[in-house]
């Protein structure tokens, strides 16, 4: 029985070349936006790119830091229990996002673990 590896290799190479040529095609540039909408409140980086319609100047800045509300008490999150489960942690999104780090075992958070985690936030 003949091996189909050379045929499959040739077909794969041809498909990759075809896909590359599709990706490399230039798409029409959108019309430039009015100057007022391009202003950034606190630009930290500026770059200029030539286009057929003229030069486009891009101002970029980092996203503002998210506002984190103060952490609720352990008793509030645990519902009066000895542990905070992953479902209970969902009530405070920063804890839900960092649950594995706070819990150290991935299943539940004790009062001591929660207190240590809250100290890290400050």
Task: Tell me the mean pLDDT in the region 3-15.
Answer: 77
For the cut 50, the answer to whether the pLDDT of residue 55 exceeds it is yes
Q: Is the pTM of this model over 0.85?
A: no
Residue 57 CA from chain centroid, whole number? 25
Nearest to 66 by CA among 100, 106, 97, 45: 97
Domain boundaries, the chain: 74-121
How much is the pLDDT for 37? 46
For the cut 70, the answer to whether the pLDDT of residue 26 exceeds it is no
How much is the pLDDT for 117? 93
Give, in order, the Cα–Cα distances in Å from 84 to each of 69, 70, 99: 19, 17, 10
69-72-77 Cα angle (round to 5): 130
How much is the pLDDT for 121? 82
Task: Tell me the mean pLDDT in the region 110-122.
Answer: 91
Q: 57-83 pLDDT, tens per residue? A: 777 888 888 888 899 999 999 999 999
């Amino acid at each position: 029985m003949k091996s189909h590896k050379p045929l499959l290799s040739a077909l794969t190479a041809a498909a990759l070349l075809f896909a590359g040529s599709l990706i490399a095609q230039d798409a029409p540039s959108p019309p430039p936006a009015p100057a007022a909408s391009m202003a950034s409140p606190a630009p930290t980086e500026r770059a200029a790119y030539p286009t057929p319609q003229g030069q486009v100047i891009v101002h970029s800045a980092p996203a503002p830091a998210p506002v984190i509300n103060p952490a609720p008490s352990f008793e509030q999150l645990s519902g009066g229990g000895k542990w905070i489960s992953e479902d209970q942690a969902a009530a405070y999104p920063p804890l839900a996002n960092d649950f594995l780090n706070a819990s150290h075992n991935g299943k539940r958070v004790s009062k001591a673990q929660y207190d240590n985690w809250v100290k890290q936030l400050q």
